């Protein structure tokens, strides 16, 4: 309970001048006696110890203490049922109050402030920032965050999911932005990083191991229940939420990432470096950069690879959209190779189609050459295709064509003239 200075002054005056007891002061001022105890203890007086009154729970206290000593995390509801079976006649309110006083408290653990050397370590994590609407598709908006532990330089890039390919893209883009990388990358127990863990026994994701071998860094997960070991990246994500993303306006993902790049180089880089407050983060990074590992000659391949098959129509389905292929390749196993901008379709090692990638939903992305080739093969397909194109241009076309047929016009000729 919070009291004002006037009540606090009255408590001190009634106790020291009028010599009133704690209970009398509490009754007259309409406050709890614990408030009076607190004010007097702050004034330097020892807390008044009162003899406890008998309670119906007293006979059960030895059993409760013994049970809690053996099972310290046992819920109060389960303990109440156990005591009630042994004859406890009281309700839950008093019981819960006493259990909260009797339950063993875990000794709070003190954490050392972790120090790292320049170029030694970076921390990596994902942050969820809601969603973004792209056409008909509502995509999750995920922030890939990597922060150098010594200089606190932040790399920030937004993606439309946190799948492995984007996880790899975030790494490669961060390394290229810094023109180097640290010796150790520290991860939380992300599925993209750790497949399985039993105590200290860890099985890393094989793709992450391939990335680490390519760039020669050591992947290292944080210890279980040791949030202080990855505190730098967690604080960086909170900093991004409050100082970058809050009230941010953008139309596209590309625009958001452009703003993120400017923020990392500008506002974020101008803040004071916690390791050395005489330096800004940008100045500390310039000192740390020569200690980073150098980049290999070729970047790691972060393209997506997925087996697909075209059924009866000359399209394959990839990431919620349909892409056209030459009609000769229907009913055949194919492979899609995609980055964030382009999509290639392979038959074995031979590329049969290339499209600009779409992150919309239920879109039909076509190469006119594919469709025209099918028109030449299928007269009926050509006719239906012409009808579809005209129907898309005007809602009056179906009625017009029906009237043309009734008047004896040849449908194929009519479609050719209209197209």
What's the pLDDT tens digit per position in 249-276?
Answer: 999 999 999 999 999 999 999 999 988 8
The whole-angstrom separation of Cα 275 and Cα 151 is 7
Q: Return the residue matching tokens 């016009």.
A: 409
Residue 383 has pLDDT above 60, yes or no: no
pLDDT tens digits, one per residue of 10-20 = 988 898 888 88
- Kindly provide the residue ranges of all beta strands, DSSP E only, lying in 218-320, ordered along the sequence: 218-221, 272-273, 276-280, 304-309, 315-318
Write down the pLDDT at residue 47.
58
- pLDDT-derived band at 190, boundaries 50, 70, 90: confident
Q: How many other C-beta atoms lie within 10 A of the C-beta of residue 418? A: 15
Write down the pLDDT at residue 341.
95
Residue 50 has pLDDT above 60, yes or no: no
pLDDT tens digits, one per residue of 132-151 = 999 999 999 999 999 999 99
| More confident: 94 or 46 | 94
Those residues with Cβ within 8 angstroms of residue 91's Cβ, 6 or more apart along the chain or in another chain: none
Write down the pLDDT at residue 353.
96
Write down the pLDDT at residue 392.
63
Find out whether 348 and 358 touch, Cβ atoms under 8 Å. Answer: no
The whole-angstrom separation of Cα 265 and Cα 255 is 16
Residue 316 has pLDDT above 80, yes or no: yes
Top mean pLDDT of 168-182, 302-316, 395-409 is at 168-182
Residue 311 has pLDDT above 80, yes or no: yes
Q: Average pLDDT in the 224-246 region?
A: 82
Find out whether 334 and 346 touch, Cβ atoms under 8 Å. Answer: yes
Task: Count CA atoms within 13 Å of residue 43 on its CB side.
Answer: 14
Write down the pLDDT at residue 72.
85
- pLDDT-derived band at 366, boundaries 50, 70, 90: very high
Residue 109 has pLDDT above 60, yes or no: no
The whole-angstrom separation of Cα 26 and Cα 34 is 9
Buried b (16+ CB within 10 A) or exposed e, 117-137: ebbbbbbbbbbebeebeeeeb
Residue 33 has pLDDT above 60, yes or no: yes
Share of the chain above pLDDT 70, in %: 83
Residue 410 has pLDDT above 80, yes or no: no
Write down the pLDDT at residue 23.
86
Weakest-pLDDT range from 88-97, 279-288, 370-379: 370-379
Write down the pLDDT at residue 388.
64
Write down the pLDDT at residue 118.
93
Residue 193 CB-density burial (10 A; 0-12 exposed, 13-18 middle, 19+ buried): buried
> Would you list the DSSP string of 135-160?
TTEEEEEEEEEEEETTT--EEEEEES
The whole-angstrom separation of Cα 168 and Cα 300 is 8
């Amino acid at each position: 309970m919070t009291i004002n200075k006037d009540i606090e002054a009255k408590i001190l005056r009634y106790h020291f001048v009028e010599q009133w007891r704690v209970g009398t002061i509490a009754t007259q001022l309409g406050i709890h006696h614990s408030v009076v105890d607190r004010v007097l203890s702050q004034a330097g007086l020892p807390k008044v110890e009162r003899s406890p009154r008998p309670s119906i729970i007293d006979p059960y206290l030895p059993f409760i203490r013994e049970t809690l000593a053996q099972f310290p995390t046992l819920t109060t509801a389960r303990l109440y049922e156990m005591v009630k079976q042994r004859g406890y006649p009281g309700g839950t309110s008093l019981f819960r109050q006493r259990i909260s006083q009797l339950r063993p408290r875990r000794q709070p653990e003190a954490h050392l402030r972790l120090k790292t050397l320049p170029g030694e370590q970076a921390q990596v994590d994902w942050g969820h920032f809601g969603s973004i609407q792209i056409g008909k598709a509502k995509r999750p908006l995920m922030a890939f965050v990597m922060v150098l532990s010594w200089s606190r330089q932040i790399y920030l890039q937004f993606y439309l999911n946190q799948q492995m390919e984007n996880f790899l893209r975030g790494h490669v883009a961060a390394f290229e932005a810094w023109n180097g990388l640290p010796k150790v990358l520290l991860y939380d127990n992300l599925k993209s990083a750790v497949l399985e863990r039993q105590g200290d026994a860890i099985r890393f994701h094989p793709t992450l191991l391939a990335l680490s071998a390519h760039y020669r860094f050591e992947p290292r997960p944080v210890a279980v229940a040791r949030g202080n070991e990855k505190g730098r990246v967690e604080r960086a994500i909170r900093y991004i939420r409050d100082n970058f993303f809050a009230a941010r306006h953008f139309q596209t993902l590309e625009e958001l990432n452009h703003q993120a790049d400017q923020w990392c180089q500008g506002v974020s880089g101008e803040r004071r470096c916690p390791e050395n407050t005489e330096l800004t983060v940008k100045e500390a990074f310039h000192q740390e950069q020569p200690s980073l590992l150098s980049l290999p000659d070729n970047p790691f391949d972060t393209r997506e690879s997925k087996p697909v098959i075209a059924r009866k129509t000359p399209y394959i389905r990839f990431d919620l959209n349909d892409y056209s292929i030459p009609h000769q390749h229907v009913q055949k196993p194919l492979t899609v190779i995609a980055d964030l901008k382009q999509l290639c379709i392979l038959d074995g090692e031979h590329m049969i189609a290339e499209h600009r990638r779409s992150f919309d939903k239920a879109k039909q992305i076509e190469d006119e050459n594919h469709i025209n080739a099918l028109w030449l093969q299928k007269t009926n397909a050509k006719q239906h295709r012409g009808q579809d194109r005209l129907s898309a241009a005007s809602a009056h076309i179906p009625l017009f064509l029906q009237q043309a047929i009734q008047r004896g016009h040849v449908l194929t000729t009519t479609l050719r003239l209209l197209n």
